[in-house]
Amino acid sequence: MNIQFLDLKPQYTSIQGEIHASIQQVLASGSFVLGKPVLDFENRFSEAHSVKHCIGVSSGTDANHLSLSMIDIGPGDEVIIPVNTFIATAWGATLCGSRPVFVDCHPESYNIDPLKIERAITKKTKAIVAVHLYGQATDMQPLQEIARRHDVHLVEDAAQAHLAEYNGKKVGGIGISAAFSFYPGKNLGAYGEAGALTTNDNEIARKARMFRDQGQSEKYHHDSYGHNYRMEAIQGAVLGVKLKYLPQWTAQRRAVAGKYRQLLGDLEQVSLPKEMPYAKHVYHLFVIRARRRDDLKAFLEQKGIGTGLHYPIPLHLQKAFQHLGYKKGDFPVAEKAADEILSLPMYPELTDQQIEYVCDSIREFYPQ
């Protein structure tokens, strides 16, 4: 049996007719950037996350840059970033000219460890970025308290966490603003690049709409510094179709996770992702820890099963951040996790048979 780590084709097949119609409508309209499809999507996406504003942009990376720009982060400032995340979280800070300051992760949630944040805060710290990694919300309450105590902003990177919940509340409106990604492989994926910023703050929303569109308040009136971060109409139309199905797809992801738990729960050589009591996990990724991880990965590959590593190198050990002066040993929890984690195939359309094959293969690897 062949099981890709991520296969986007079955989902496309299931909604093909609607997708084609929505793209044809954009082609016929002759309007390809922003416009009605994007506006409609923005309205429905913010409603789905119980947040006031959604600003569609060109990628999740751009959304991270936008979110920090809107709170005036700039050169000389420091931004707290979890060391265990995709690098684009940190690009948000560097694109503003500020310095990312890394903090180790919690061994069970893999999200930033709230107990380790305060020792990283200095007089230059302006913001904390809470990443809801793998689809599980960060423990936001301690972060909110720290942000309040030190008078710094708290923003979210929700690129992996569409419809995820923290204590019953959707992510995206808990921090002052939140960045989402609609990269094709994300829980809600465009057919190309796209992202969004969400916020309950009217002023941030107004400024963000200008910033994404060359700083324009009206055509050729450039009131502020800006960028071309506009969402394409075709992506807005595709996302509009897909958003309807997102609750169902999210439930299917949770069911896949449940099946993995059922079939792997008793295996002592692997530990399964923990659902924290405050979180409703949306399983962008199903990340286990495994003994002899590299050998297991190679064995599964041989069996036709694709797996992933999220992420093999913590940010402080990336060449791109060498100049920041971190070294091996600085973030032991994230470093240990990087050597043990393995992401199993995860997408809504995985069948029971496929999940059983993955789990049987893992059992076969470990001698009983």
Ligand X SMILES: *Cc1c(COP(=O)(O)O)cnc(C)c1O
| Residue ranges in contact with ligand X by CB under 6 A | 59-61, 64, 85-86, 88-89, 131, 157, 159-160, 181, 183, 195
**Nearer Cβ to ligand X (125/181):** 181
Cβ-closest residue to ligand X?
60
Q: Print the SS3 string covering the chain.
A: CCECCCCCHHHHHHHHHHHHHHHHHHHHHCCCECCHHHHHHHHHHHHHCCCCEEEEECCHHHHHHHHHHCCCCCCCCEEEEECCCCCHHHHHHHHCCCEEEEECECCCCCCECHHHCHHHCCCCEEEEEEECHHHCCCCHHHHHHHHHHHCCEEEEECCCCCCCEECCEECCCCCCCEEEECCCCCCCCCCCCCEEEEECCHHHHHHHHHHCECCEEECCEECCCCCECECEHHHHHHHHHHHCCHHHHHHHHHHHHHHHHHHHCCCCCEECCCCCCCEECCCCCEEEEECCHHHHHHHHHHCCECCECCCCCCHHHCHHHHHHCCCCCCCHHHHHHHHHEEEECCCCCCCHHHHHHHHHHHHHHCCC
**Nearer Cβ to ligand X (93/362):** 93
**Nearer Cβ to ligand X (131/305):** 131
Q: Please report how close the Cβ of residue 231 comes to ligand X at its closest, in angstroms.
A: 11
Q: Please report how close the Cβ of residue 133 comes to ligand X at its closest, in angstroms.
A: 6
**Nearer Cβ to ligand X (157/165):** 157
Q: Please report how close the Cβ of residue 137 comes to ligand X at its closest, in angstroms.
A: 13
Q: Please report how close the Cβ of residue 177 comes to ligand X at its closest, in angstroms.
A: 14
**Nearer Cβ to ligand X (92/345):** 92
**Nearer Cβ to ligand X (59/354):** 59
**Nearer Cβ to ligand X (342/359):** 342
Q: Please report how close the Cβ of residue 312 comes to ligand X at its closest, in angstroms.
A: 15
Within 13 Å, how many C-alpha atoms sit on residue 327's CB side?
0
Q: Please report how close the Cβ of residue 11 comes to ligand X at its closest, in angstroms.
A: 18
Q: Please report how close the Cβ of residue 64 comes to ligand X at its closest, in angstroms.
A: 6
**Nearer Cβ to ligand X (180/357):** 180
Q: Please report how close the Cβ of residue 161 comes to ligand X at its closest, in angstroms.
A: 9
Q: Using CA atoms, how far apart are residues 38 and 54, in angstroms rounded to an integer?
A: 10
